Amino acid sequence: MEMSMEKPHVAFLSSPGMGHITPLFELAKRLVLHHGFQVSFLVITTEASAAQTEFFVSSTNDFPPDLHIINIPPVDMSPILTPDMFVLTTLCLIVQESLKPLKNIILELPNRPKALVIDIFCTQAIDVCRDLDIGVYSFFTASTLLLAFSLYLPTLDREMEGEYVDLPEPIQVPGCSPIRTQDLLDMVKNRKIDEYYWYFLHVSRLCSVSGIFANTWDDFEPKSLKALRENEFYRSIQTPPVYPIGPLIKQEEVVTKQDAQILAWLDDQPLNSVLFIAFGSGGTVTSEQLIELAYGIEMSKQKFIWVVRKPSDASASASFFSSGSEENDPSIYLPKGFFERTQKQGILVSSWAAQVAILGHKSTGAFLSHCGWNSSLESMVHGLPMIAWPLYAEQRQNATMLAEEFGLALKPEVVNGKNVIGRKEIENVIRLIIESDEGVKLREMARAMMESSKKALSDGGSSFNALNTMVNMWKTHE
């Protein structure tokens, strides 16, 4: 590997999963392409999903020469992982084992990086970098409201007994919008299990980094950003400077032959007429819910593209480590005849689609999404309203924010206290978002958000300036 001695060098490290890799990678590319940096991007290869492997293999040809991919050797996790482990516990154990040789990997880089940028689940790197005298920066890839909550969590943990979900009132995060207990992220819903242990461990180290990048922008989350900058609580815990540099979304993606066919089909559809349906890199619904969703889509008679996955009655994140590869024959679990009846109405995609290309197409009119943070940003950047269908992690919080605070999304209701959204309700929200005046209003809000995001990223905009501040610091400090 050839590295220029003059160009400033920064290293990146993300936990597995496209939701975290994508924004870190976009930041890395920006440093190389717009700011003259060289970057070493360290990739955890253990148990990588097909989507992740495909991303690094297929895009390698297009990487700029100063962006170096360094694969961390895979480790055998079979003595450590058990099938009943939840997704965050599994992920954190993979990271912990994979990072054991981190010090040597950094020492073997052709020249010493000025900084290491990590995502929230790689905080083991903080001690390693302290030994090597390298500054560590965190890239928080979810909302700033969740960042604020996460910074507050150690205090909440100290001051409160019992479960947070049992609190009678919403949680008042200092300076931010209150979070309803039912919207709390899954990892903090049971303080006695490993999911909580891992989340707590990583967020409790947030204040020991030199700075935190946030995938947001000033005009989008002003309240939470102001709180982090000015509220007494965050000062008292010595919150590092927060740099809102977003929205950083995937700029280009792997477009397979199948994706090309989908885009060609979209070319033939009317403007804003198609609903795109996808649940992120790992989201799955139950078999009962999948049937209702299928009927709801069919009954709406609206055009659709649906990334459909095998249902799971055990976990809403069942596909996290297999996204893009799982065996999948929709005819087994979709209603009988669905495929035949909807042939003219829409397209089923198995497991994985070129989401950004689809969202960016003029015929796409709305996005039914699990409200992962990247998907939410991708929708906003393309001015699309959403049907919010949160499944796990912090997605309920995102859905509430998008629907109630920003008026960008409709939230289908679960009726009769059941845990399933019925077909009639699904039909209604799809019609509303694609065909009604309410849909037009939501689209206008989404368009306004798109303009606001463009402004933030353009020359002199808030996100542009926040990144420049960091870039200049890295360029001038030895």
- Applying CB under 6 A, the residues found at the interface with ligand UDP are 17-19, 22, 250, 253, 278, 280-282, 307, 352-353, 355-356, 372-375, 378
Nearest approach, Cβ of residue 280 and ligand UDP (Å): 3
Give the H or E element holding residue 11. strand 9-14
Contact yes or no for 23/29 (Cβ under 8 A): no
Considering beta carbons, is residue 258 or 452 the nearer one to ligand UDP? Answer: 258
**177 vs 369, beta carbon nearer ligand UDP:** 369
Q: Half-sphere exposure of 372 toward its Cβ, with a 13 Å CA cutoff?
A: 23
Nearest approach in angstroms of CB 409 to ligand UDP is 14
Task: Please state the closest distance from residue 253 (CB atom) to ligand UDP, in A.
Answer: 6
Q: Which is nearer to ligand UDP, 279 or 338 (CB)?
A: 279
| Residue linked to tokens 């939230």 | 411
One of 9, 20, 202, 361 is an active-site residue; which one?
20
Specify the residue, 379 or 428, whose C-beta has the smaller distance to ligand UDP: 379
Shortest Å, Cβ 20 to ligand UDP? 7
Q: Is 76 a catalytic residue?
A: no
In contact, 140 and 246? CB cutoff 8 Å = no
Instruction: For 365, list phi and psi in degrees, rounded to 5.
Output: -110, -20
459 carries an active-site annotation: no
Contact between 249 and 378 under an 8 Å Cβ cutoff? The reply is: yes
Instruction: Closer to ligand UDP by CB, 105 or 348: give it.
Output: 348
Q: How far is the CB of 295 from ligand UDP (least distance, A)?
A: 22
- How near is the Cβ of 263 to ligand UDP at its closest, in Å? 13
- Return the structure tokens found at 469: 């501040």
Is 83 buried (19+), middle (13-18) or exposed (0-12) by CB count in 10 A?
A: exposed
Q: Choose between 204 and 328: whose C-beta lies nearer to ligand UDP.
A: 328
Count of helix runs (H) and strand runs (E) in the chain: 19, 13
E strands in 94-217: 115-119, 135-140, 211-214
C-alpha dist (Å) from residue 348 to 52, 184, 277, 278: 22, 32, 10, 11
Q: What are phi and psi of 306, to 5 degrees?
A: -125, 115
Contacts of 94 (CB under 8 A, 6+ apart): 15, 16, 44, 46, 47, 75, 77, 81
Kindly state the greatest CA–CA separation across the chain. Answer: 65
Q: How far is the CB of 352 from ligand UDP (least distance, A)?
A: 4
DSSP annotation of 206 reads G
Between residues 278 and 433, which has the closer beta carbon with respect to ligand UDP?
A: 278
Tallying the residues shown for the chain, one arrives at: 478
- Using alpha carbons, list the distances in angstroms from residue 144 to 110, 127, 223, 224: 35, 25, 9, 6
Catalytic residue, chosen from 9, 66, 68, 119, is 119
- Could you say which DSSP state residue 407 is in? S
* Positions marked catalytic: 20, 119
